[in-house]
Structure 1
Amino acid sequence: MVDKDPGQHALDLAGDPAELGRVRGWARAALDGVPGVDPALLADVVGALDELASNAIRHGAAPRRVLLRHANGALRVEVSDGSPVRAEYRAPSTDGGRGLRMIEAYVDTWGQTEHDGGKTVWAEFALPPS
């Protein structure tokens, strides 16, 4: 784990789906006491983060990293991985295909950026004025 400042928290991920529980706990701890993050918003953030991290583990490649940032009235979740393959909607099936639709239900906005060696899928949540 690497924390650069009080408004930013980072966590490196392995490729094991069993670590998603660790990711959820880490996010809850990192966001504890952040102004504007009430239980309902925290549940949405953790739900979106769980899905983004799951997608990176399931469909991405190493290295994988999660970043939480909160500043200027917004909370941003970023999940980066080493695969250049963009996250895309898939037809729902018994094998998945619902992840990005679930993320849309939790967040105010989301997107992805490509970078050398992979991509970052991000989601943003508006924080209420303090």
Structure 2
Amino acid sequence: MTALTAHFDVPIGPDSPGTSRQAVVDILRVWGYIDDLWVADAAVVVSELVTNAVQHGAGSVTLGIEAYGLHVIISVADGSSVIPRRREPDGRGGRGLLLVEAFTQHWTVEDHQGGKRVRAELQPYPRLEDLHTQAGTGREHP
């Protein structure tokens, strides 16, 4: 199965997480990732990474999706070089990276154009047959 990729700039504002989440869900479904529970987990990861980038990052935010069969990586880049760290949850937050850890195999941070990029590999997609149906047909799932 070939790699599928998508990258786009995220408009900064209060709607950034929701808009990004919906865009990623739509892309994943077009690519054949139609398992509702798995897609919902992916949406949580997108929301948390974009929220962190908007609240704690700097400059523009770019979101990327890479799909390699059962493996999907979500990445979010921003202009801040400050590395995100897990902290104790309180009334202001602190649950985002805990959620990212719960719904991914692992996540990493790398330097990116003077800032950073957080890359999170989702849990493997559970239904290979969905992706075989999509591969090579040029058709979208209904």
Equivalent residue, structure 1, for 2:56: 59
Amino acid at match of 1:12: D
Measured in 2, the distance between the counterparts of 1:62 and 1:6 equals 29
What is the RMSD computed on CA atoms of the aligned residues? 1.9
- Kindly state the Cα deviation for residue 30 of structure 1 after the two structures are TM-superposed: 0.4
Secondary structure of 2:39's aligned partner: helix
1:113 to 110, 113, 121: 110
Q: Percent identity?
A: 30
**TM-score under structure 2 length normalisation:** 0.80
Moved over 6 A (4+): none
Indicate which of 47, 64, 69 corresponds to 2:66: 69
Structure 2 residue 125 is matched with structure 1 residue 127 = yes
2:36 aligned with 1:39, yes or no?
Answer: yes
Aligned-pair CA distance for 1:72: 4.2
Instruction: Give structure 1 stretches of 5+ with no counterpart.
Output: none
For structure 2, the residue ranges without an aligned partner over 5 or more in a row are: 130-142
